[in-house]
Structure 1
Amino acid sequence: MSVTADHSPDTSNGDQATPADRPAIQIGGEAETIRVLTTALGQGALPDVYVSGGQLVHLARVSGKAASAAEHAHQADAGALPVQADPITAPSLTWLLAHHTFVYRNKFNKATEQWEDVEASPTKAALSAVLSSRYWPDVRPLVGVVTSPVLRPDGTLLQTAGYDTATGLYYAPTVAMPPIPAQPSTQEVSEALEFVTRTLLRDFPFVADADKANHIGLMIAPILRPYLGCLTPFGLISATTQSSGKTLLAEIPGYIYGLKHLVWRKNDEDELQKSITSALHSTAAVMLWDNLAEGTEVSSAVLAKLLTGPKWDDRNLGSNSAGFEAVNDRLWLATGNNIRLGGDMATRTALVRLDPNDPHPDQRDQTGFGIPHLDQWLKKPANRVTVLRHLLILVMDWINAGAPRSGHTMRQFTTWAGAAGGFLAHHGVDGFLDNVAEMREADDENTTWTAFLAKWHELHDDNPLRARVLCHSAEPEVIGNQVVDRWDGTFLTDDRDRIPSSKSLGKLLTGHIGRWHGPHVLRSRHDKSANSLVFWVETNPDHDKADHDQTPAADEQTALI
């Protein structure tokens, strides 16, 4: 069977097509039907069908998607509708075959005593059997859908709408984007830098240069990701008070790349996992947990796993079977007031701080702002194009300069840190990742352990102690008429704010052996006479200072954060 297919996104109804206009697929018995349909799909009988993670998906435009009035007005052209890749199921495959092919059986007509081609639909069992295959060598792979231009691995810019063979990405712009020059002029670069740093971001109350630099580094991450092939850290925008502009700051990349809002449920890891899986069905490049409760501690094993893994896998929604898998190619952001970090999140986070130093920041006069009422300005598609165009010009200028890297390192995000640091240094933007000390101050767990180990060393020097002896030393003493806590409230406690049992304390200590907290580190060895572990604290005042003073040229294996 010979099959030809049009691979541009289909916008027709398909009902008016005659059998002559559609590929003909003759089916027969169940086994023959399975073989024939498998061959037809491999030969491209259906438009906009790709393979992703071993599963066939169909790329289609989505009508009626939630959007603002301005966006609906812009979407009057069907080409501007959002594009979505949906896994093909037996019912959806039936629909696609009915609209884009002529599936028939050869049946004998007793009345005419003639063999006739009669249109037919394959059985659900046959369709399910076809879709059960995980191997589709002749179907084009779909890595993802992007709504804005991105850098290919070779440093060229993907800016032509449609499927890109070099990357496996499908570029479906939601707004008309003018061509970006491969070699921007000096004037274009100067104007772009002026716009981004002194117009777009000028009026946000960043605490320090590091906060603005970190935000720009996060903003360009979706453009650089295919080029770098790397993960990006969690972006935390933390403000001192309400109406500081944190949500708007997070929404800038959301407006230009696509944004999905998520709900943060404290201490509910199962719900967090479900929300991440659901979010990854969206094509939005930016995922945002907005306005976390004031003082929230972001400490999640699920989120930590997401940020440091190139892929995310989970059970299919509504099913107990494993099956959902997606590339972790999104920018994950959160905003809130005085947000804290716990667990391993500090080493996975790029911090952006805002402090308006104003009791009523919402009442600021915007007359002299670079862009007054930026939230309304960004809602206009033409203005979002302006922002994205300037960012792309700066990226292409960096590429033409040889894409220089800085020496910044950051755990699993060193590739991003080195590239973003090099990009910012190339354009004269200072301070990138310089707020390491502030990051550690936001790390509640590190702060707790630093205080605990400091007091331990003060009380017991470097004498080895068993967990039972250490617990006993934490019991308050009665001196005269007063109850004295020698630990001054720094001893570790459980969820009920009680001193843990010696067994529980031993497990806690074991998990921190060899880990530095400030200038202190916990050591241990096995005591043969007691047949148990003993612990002690070593201190090095220069360790914490050296870590804070580390320059971008530091060894690549030493994490800045």
Structure 2
Amino acid sequence: LKQFGPSRGDAQTETSPRPGLKEILVDRPIHEVIADAVEALADDPEVFQRGPNLVRMIRNEKPPKGLKGTEGTPQIAPIPATRLIELLSRSARWVKERMNNDGEPILIATDPTGLHAGLVKDRCDWPGIRILERVTEAPCLRPDGTILQTPGYDPDTGLFFLPNPGVTFPEISEHPTIEDAQAAATTLLDLVVDFPFARPEGSEEKDSPHTYAWLASLLTILCRSAIDGPCPLFLFTANTAASGKTKLCDINALIATGRKMPRSDYTDNNEEMAKVLFSVALGGFPVVFLDNVESGGALGGSAIDKALTSTSLNGRILGASEMRDVPFYAVLFATGNNVRLQGDIHRRLVPCRLESPDEHPEEREHFAIEDLEAHVLSNRPALVAAGLTIVRAYVVAGQPKQKLIPMDFPAWARLIRNAIHWATGFDPCATRAEARDDDDSAHELARLIAEWPVVCAGEGKDALTTGEALKAVKRDPVTRTSRYEAMHEVLVGMSRNDDLPPSKTLGRRLGKHRGKVVGEGSDARTFARTIKDGMTRWFVQPIPPRQAPPPSGSSGLSGFAPGYPVTKTDFFSPKTTVGGGDEEGEKKSVFRGEWLGANPLNPLNPLPDPDSSIPAERVTDAPAEPETADAVLDDTADAVVDGSWVVTSAEPPCGGCWRMDCPWCTPTDDDTLEGGAR
């Protein structure tokens, strides 16, 4: 108290200066006081900012609601108002002006108040206070591809390297070679030789692609800070319990954090799942897995989809009345036996499947590494170095392009997927084709497309409303000889009460499937609709097979001819970057337009209506760098009508390769036009 000034009972004694601290006079306009308080807080080593919050790092002792196994984990936590008062007090000398007995002004010590703390906390703009993005307990890859190896705060990235007590990591080479990467991959893969990774039917490969899916999951945790975008979920499934799904997840976490992976029981309640995921985001946890999806149950839902397609989540913070966005960088895992997939989740995960040949896998003996978890902990520094060596070597080599089928999560694919393929020759996403087979939505669509024409034919109509279809199926007795038995089974699957769904439910489901193509070549089909007199009728539309383009240079065509004129609004997503590289997934070729006339040179490339008023001049604006969709179309459009492009023939950036994996030349699900035209 002597250092700070007078005691509370001695208001007439002048204070002694507190060395090294900023003095904050409270008898001023409040905005000036708060600005000085923020400036003082910037020197406090405990205080950081993250998103819209002032935060600190704590060693978590009590798991957030819905999470288990987080004890001891470094957690990013919002600073409570009461703690903020303490921090304000220790960061500055707070004084107020009073008159002494002689009528002279003096400064006496005072305390910051709850008002000061509240105004500082709600400011959401704290110049000088360090930004904390993530906390890591192991060396990690920075966004520029270099390795963060020095403990403490890294101001260039906002990362804080906080090693586990007593753990020392070796110096990791900043210039590894492909041979180093291959040796590192072998070191990591040797850890999991005893796990029964599934093999594709009839495959004679020594290594299973599921092994490399596991490797991708580990490298994703170690390199998450270098991935500028969302990451896929890693789904560990098995044919039976006790096959090793959870242990594989824990091995990843033991390497990356030194402790087992935090987990949460999976629920298909989207509201509850959203709360769990927001807790993960708020705490800055690097990884979490959704434990034990019910055997044969379905994985998916809006909460998980949002977490997998965004780098922030919105929720209510304890003590705050408003909703706030919080950064979300956790890598998600899920486990379950024979898990089914619903919605769009199959596009947003990398599956890793185990298939044990044993009836009771838990009774198995004789392993290459007897106590795997103890082995991992004792060799953890070397294993972390091995994982980072693979990706760092790929970066040093210039990140050579890998000829892989494009996918969602382009930033993740460019770094993790490509690095593994470059170092090992295996694509960790080769398992994703199997995920499509487990997609409930795809199965439902395939069966609807197969059975809808049966009902239409049975009713003597080309198309049916949902009400007409339900009435026909309900009228027809469901017996072994029923014409509509298969359709009845499909429709009951849409209902939650083992009965036919309401007409509106069926209509919404058909609307969701409209335009999606099932089958290939001459077997390709899609759902289409007609609307007349306010009634929507549905039918199954065959998709004409794509014809090969004419040879390059034939009759003025350059080898690339969209099926119909292209408009500015429909050709691309806004400002989509144009560029090469099979691994890039940002660009989409989405063609829509109207059939305006036959083109004798290419039936799939109709000409504009000759009677339309199309300006003769071409648009030749110089493209900006990097080249954008706008610039490409401006430079290649045959005409512009009402601000939209009309392109009857153009050469895309790929040169018109017509490869099936080319995002310029291959239609997407959105390419189907009204009436079935493509």
TM class, shorter-chain normalised?
A: 0.7 to 0.9
AA of the residue aligned to 2:242: S
1:321 and 2:312 are equivalent in the alignment: no
TM-score for both structures, normalised by structure 1? 0.82
> Which residue number in structure 2 is paired with residue 332 of structure 1?
332
Tell me, yes or no, if the aligned pair for 2:88 and 2:112 is still in contact at 8 Å: no
| Range with bigger deviation, 268-277 or 43-52 | 43-52
Matches within 5 A, 1:288-307: 288-307=289-308
> Which residue number in structure 2 is paired with residue 555 of structure 1?
662
Question: 2:513 aligns to what SS in structure 1?
Answer: coil
1:353 and 2:460 are equivalent in the alignment: no
Q: 1:359-417 deviations in whole A, cap 9, x for unaligned?
A: 121122234x1x22213333x3x422222111111122111211224344565412312
Tell me, yes or no, if the aligned pair for 1:471 and 1:502 is still in contact at 8 Å: yes
Aligned length: 513
In structure 1, C-alpha distance between the alignment counterparts of 2:32 and 2:394, rounded to whole Å: 51
Matches within 5 A, 1:121-520: 121-174=111-164, 175-184=167-176, 188-197=180-189, 199-208=190-199, 209-258=208-257, 261-317=262-318, 320-323=321-324, 325-367=325-367, 369=368, 371-378=369-376, 380=377, 382-408=378-404, 411-458=407-454, 460=456, 463-475=462-474, 477=476, 484-488=482-486, 489-493=488-492, 494-518=495-519
In structure 2, C-alpha distance between the alignment counterparts of 1:329 and 1:482, rounded to whole Å: 52
Tell me, yes or no, if the aligned pair for 1:521 and 1:538 is still in contact at 8 Å: yes
AA of the residue aligned to 1:353: R
Q: 1:145-192 deviations in whole A, cap 9, x for unaligned?
A: 222222223221122122222212222222322221101367644432
Structure 1 residue ranges without an equivalent (≥5): 1-17, 67-74, 76-80, 544-550
Tell me, yes or no, if the aligned pair for 2:213 and 2:352 is still in contact at 8 Å: yes
> Which residue number in structure 2 is paired with residue 86 of structure 1?
77
Q: 1:53-74 deviations in whole A, cap 9, x for unaligned?
A: 243223x4437578xxxxxxxx
TM-score for both structures, normalised by structure 2? 0.69
| Range with bigger deviation, 220-229 or 328-337 | 220-229
> Which residue number in structure 2 is paired with residue 15 of structure 1?
none
In structure 2, C-alpha distance between the alignment counterparts of 1:313 and 1:559, rounded to whole Å: 34
Deviation at 1:238, TM superposition (A): 0.5
In structure 2, C-alpha distance between the alignment counterparts of 1:51 and 1:491, rounded to whole Å: 52
Tell me, yes or no, if the aligned pair for 1:62 and 1:84 is still in contact at 8 Å: yes
AA of the residue aligned to 1:55: N
1:397 to 1:504, Cα distance in 2 relative to 1, 3 A: closer
Deviation at 1:129, TM superposition (A): 1.9
AA of the residue aligned to 1:417: A
Q: 1:53-98 deviations in whole A, cap 9, x for unaligned?
A: 243223x4437578xxxxxxxx9xxxxx754433234311221233
Question: 1:263 aligns to what SS in structure 2?
Answer: strand
In structure 2, C-alpha distance between the alignment counterparts of 1:230 and 1:178, rounded to whole Å: 29
Question: 1:288 aligns to what SS in structure 2?
Answer: strand
| Range with bigger deviation, 385-394 or 309-318 | 309-318
In structure 1, C-alpha distance between the alignment counterparts of 2:185 and 2:504, rounded to whole Å: 58
In structure 2, C-alpha distance between the alignment counterparts of 1:265 and 1:190, rounded to whole Å: 36
In structure 1, C-alpha distance between the alignment counterparts of 2:132 and 2:60, rounded to whole Å: 22
1:168 to 1:526, Cα distance in 2 relative to 1, 3 A: same
AA of the residue aligned to 2:323: A
1:531 and 2:531 are equivalent in the alignment: no
In structure 1, C-alpha distance between the alignment counterparts of 2:261 and 2:220, rounded to whole Å: 17
Structure 2 residue ranges without an equivalent (≥5): 1-15, 64-70, 200-207, 547-581, 584-658, 670-678
Tell me, yes or no, if the aligned pair for 2:254 and 2:261 is still in contact at 8 Å: no
Deviation at 1:133, TM superposition (A): 1.3
| Root-mean-square deviation over aligned CA pairs | 3.2
In structure 2, C-alpha distance between the alignment counterparts of 1:531 and 1:560, rounded to whole Å: 29
2:526 pairs, out of 518, 522, 536, with 522
In structure 2, C-alpha distance between the alignment counterparts of 1:357 and 1:86, rounded to whole Å: 45
> Which residue number in structure 2 is paired with residue 38 of structure 1?
35
Higher relative contact order (CA 8 A, sep 6+): 1
1:23 pairs, out of 21, 24, 31, with 21
> Which residue number in structure 2 is paired with residue 119 of structure 1?
109
Q: 1:339-377 deviations in whole A, cap 9, x for unaligned?
A: 11111111111111000111121122234x1x2221333
Deviation at 1:457, TM superposition (A): 3.6
Tell me, yes or no, if the aligned pair for 2:216 and 2:416 is still in contact at 8 Å: yes
AA of the residue aligned to 1:242: A
| Range with bigger deviation, 421-430 or 459-468 | 459-468
AA of the residue aligned to 1:202: V
Q: 1:461-480 deviations in whole A, cap 9, x for unaligned?
A: 7932222232233236359x
Tell me, yes or no, if the aligned pair for 2:21 and 2:92 is still in contact at 8 Å: yes
Q: 1:255-278 deviations in whole A, cap 9, x for unaligned?
A: 233465343353322111111111
AA of the residue aligned to 1:119: A
Tell me, yes or no, if the aligned pair for 2:420 and 2:427 is still in contact at 8 Å: no
In structure 2, C-alpha distance between the alignment counterparts of 1:89 and 1:118, rounded to whole Å: 27
AA of the residue aligned to 1:28: V
Residue identity over aligned pairs, in percent, reads 25
Matches within 5 A, 1:45-64: 45-58=43-56, 60-62=57-59
1:542 to 1:202, Cα distance in 2 relative to 1, 3 A: farther
Structure 1 or 2, whichever has the larger Rg, is 2
1:491 to 1:339, Cα distance in 2 relative to 1, 3 A: closer
1:217 to 1:132, Cα distance in 2 relative to 1, 3 A: same
> Which residue number in structure 2 is paired with residue 8 of structure 1?
none
AA of the residue aligned to 1:88: I
1:266 to 1:47, Cα distance in 2 relative to 1, 3 A: closer
Deviation at 1:433, TM superposition (A): 1.8
AA of the residue aligned to 1:39: D
AA of the residue aligned to 2:187: F
In structure 2, C-alpha distance between the alignment counterparts of 1:139 and 1:223, rounded to whole Å: 27
Q: 1:534-555 deviations in whole A, cap 9, x for unaligned?
A: 2111356989xxxxxxx97822
Deviation at 1:492, TM superposition (A): 1.7
